[in-house]
Copies of this chain bind each other. A is one copy, B any other.
Amino acid sequence: MHFASDNTSPVPPQILDALIAANHGYAMPYGADAIMAEVRTAIRETFEAPEAEVYLVATGTAANALSLALLCPPWATVFCHRNAHIEEDECGAPEFYTGGAKLTLVEGADAKLTPEALREAIGFAARGGVHNVQRGAVSITNATEHGTVYSAAEVSALSAVAADYDLPVHMDGARFANALVATGATPAEMTWKAGIDVLSFGGTKNGCMGVEAVVLFDPAHAWEFELRRKRGGHLFSKHRYLSAQMAAYLKDGLWLKLAARANDAAARLSQGLAALDRAELLHPTEANAVFAAFPREAHRRAQAAGAQYYLWPMDQSLEGPGDVPLSARMVCSWCTTDEEVDALLAIVRGD
């Protein structure tokens, strides 16, 4: 019963096999390996974007921070949701990589931006000429940090607001596959057709050891990206091992299958909880994370049984009256089984 995060999972055999297969003979370093050429082609085909440039890094924070640095100058601000990963979980990496840009935090239910709130935030910013930081970029997290997703149409609506101000749009797709599976959109529909300029295309949370692709739909600043990546220490010498993971991840739709499993497990857990009187869903379960409140005594039982997940927010205590509801985040991954889900549900129910 491990629902702490999708990053606690192992990797599926296809990823491991790819590493083993890649481990023969010499290979040119720093992205000049032959497998990277395959990856580039696969991403372009997957996204119907023959001009796109593709770069691999090993962490989502690197992918996001480098992408934002490309889009937003130091004297500008990135518009994002208050609960975006770039705000809450990257220890200021966007500020570091951009050279001190701001993040302007926009409110919205279920960790989602609305076009209205985004427009208001953009309109308000930079009203003071040289005295304010300037409007820089918009960043959209899909799937969101609260387990919800934007449809392609919703992304388009946000990009349209950005376009009114000539702002580029970044998508933090650490859980991009989960969002695609949830919405049924194609990769192209969810990204460049919806106005996305740069995508952080996640691999790690969805089954890889550690690889993310940055996809530049407009290759104009590709060389700058390469320099920023190197300067950030994110250019791998034995790059083939990043390439191999990503190639296997993309092959035969593995990435979508992995995400479908995670989403299905989350749906099962969510539905199971929703059926209980004493449990309450805090956000719609649209991807692979479930946010729900249920009685403290059920949390104590779960913990005693070895279930792993986070109380969310984390500063809630298991000590105290047993009938008080505590809220929790439970994340499913490609390897979450129905048995694990059912076991947790049984504990919450008090079977």
User: Which of A's residues lie within 8 Å of B, judged by CB?
Assistant: 2, 4-5, 7-11, 16, 19-20, 22-30, 57-63, 65-66, 73-75, 88-93, 95-103, 105, 127-128, 130-134, 204-205, 209-210, 224, 226-228, 230-238, 241-242, 308, 313-315
Contact = CB atoms under 8 A, between A and B. Distances in A.
Interface of A is mostly: loop
Count identical subunits in the complex.
4
B233 A130 contact: no
B65 A96 contact: no
Contacts of A96: 74, 99-100, 231-232
Contacts of A232: 62, 93, 96, 232-233
A88 B130 CA distance: 11
A224 B205 CA distance: 26
3 closest cross-chain pairs (CB), A and B: A62-B233, A95-B100, A7-B237
A346 to B, nearest CB: 20
A328 to B, nearest CB: 15
A233 B10 contact: no
A175 to B, nearest CB: 12
A127 B315 contact: yes
14 contacts: A4-B26, A7-B29, A9-B26, A20-B20, A60-B237, A63-B233, A75-B91, A88-B132, A90-B231, A91-B227, A92-B100, A96-B99, A127-B314, A130-B230
A233 B230 contact: no
Contacts of A238: 7, 9, 11, 204, 209-210
B8 A235 contact: no
Contacts of A233: 57, 59, 61-63, 65-66, 90, 93, 97, 232, 234
A65 B230 CA distance: 11
Contacts of A57: 233
A231 B234 CA distance: 13
A99 B231 CA distance: 12
Contact of A133 (B4, B25, B58, B91): B91
Contacts of A90: 131, 230-231, 233
A57 to B, nearest CB: 7
B11 A26 contact: no
Contacts of A227: 75, 91, 130, 134
A75 B91 CA distance: 6
Contact of A99 (B11, B100, B103, B236): B100
Contacts of A63: 233
Contact of A23 (B11, B27, B93): B11
A235 B10 contact: no
Contacts of A308: 26
